Amino acid sequence: MAPAFRIGSIEVHRLDDGPFWLDGGQMFGIVPKVLWSKECPVDADNRMAMACNCYLLISGGRRTLVDAGLGRDWDDKSRRIYGVDASAPTLLDRLGALGLGPGDIDRVLLTHLHFDHCGWATVPDGSGGHRPTFPNAEHLVHRLEWDDAHDPEARGAASYFDRLYDPLKAAGQLRLLEGGPEFALGQGLEALVTGGHTRGHLAWMLESQGHRAIGLADLCPLAAHRRERWLTAFDLYPVEALAVKRRLLGAAEAGNWAVFLNHEPDRPARRPVRRSAHLDLDPLEAGIQCSTADRADSDAARLT
């Protein structure tokens, strides 16, 4: 079994459902290619390989999956556009390598409902519909995200596919988080509505035995996005995204928290380190305690 990351008594396993390929311009919005391409090389079609990191949290005997990958239920055209590699190990393969099956997941926290975050939430049911992949899991989504995912007029409508999440509601396996911005979810897990990327986008935080970590989801998809003004073209509310990313990365730096990245292919568990004026995110290795005990005011990351 691949070693886990440890945040206090919480085990964190990275389960990569990628790779898939996205346009470099989309990933860096208004940032000129001459700047970002030094750190993130692209292919002849200007695409870059992205991981699709989901995280399995094991705490207090409960197994929580954060995000559900890209899935494999895509037509040929989408497979070509996104370079989905049919032979790459999937989220379910990686769960299997830990000795776990879909029935072993107790809950799934979906940071948002873009297709690369909930792809495995459902699978084809063999009769033209879809059914939940994780039969015993409660799925958590913010109400604003749920509403926006069902708005056909929304600017981001092309990123949402009802078949990936509507069956969760039909099966009684959906719990909408209302209000916020913070939700204590038990077992050391907290969700935080950030906005920025989408209105109902969630970050997640872990706290155990004085150790802390944060998952920024698509507010900081790659390590290159540690620069606060490097935002993606997918961020619907870029000014808000900049402000909340600045605040949360600042809190992670002050508290020496581990930072988990959603789409970074290269060692996506990181630690903020400031070098002169620049904030770097240095790789953390699995099998060790990931953060030092909290030495900052834990309220630093509060949005209220």
Which residues are at the interface with Zn ion (CB under 5 A)? 116, 218
- Residue with smaller CB distance to Zn ion, 57 or 220: 220
CB of 262 to Zn ion, least distance (A): 6
CB of 225 to Zn ion, least distance (A): 11
CB of 164 to Zn ion, least distance (A): 13
- Residue with smaller CB distance to Zn ion, 116 or 235: 116
- Residue with smaller CB distance to Zn ion, 58 or 113: 113
CB of 203 to Zn ion, least distance (A): 13
Q: Report which residue type is found at 282.
A: D
- Residue with smaller CB distance to Zn ion, 116 or 207: 116
CB of 134 to Zn ion, least distance (A): 20
The 10 Å CB-count burial string (b at 16+, else e) for 7-37 is: bbebebbbbbbbbbbbebbebbbebeeeebe
- Residue with smaller CB distance to Zn ion, 29 or 131: 29
- Residue with smaller CB distance to Zn ion, 6 or 197: 197
CB of 116 to Zn ion, least distance (A): 4
CB of 120 to Zn ion, least distance (A): 14
- Residue with smaller CB distance to Zn ion, 157 or 184: 157
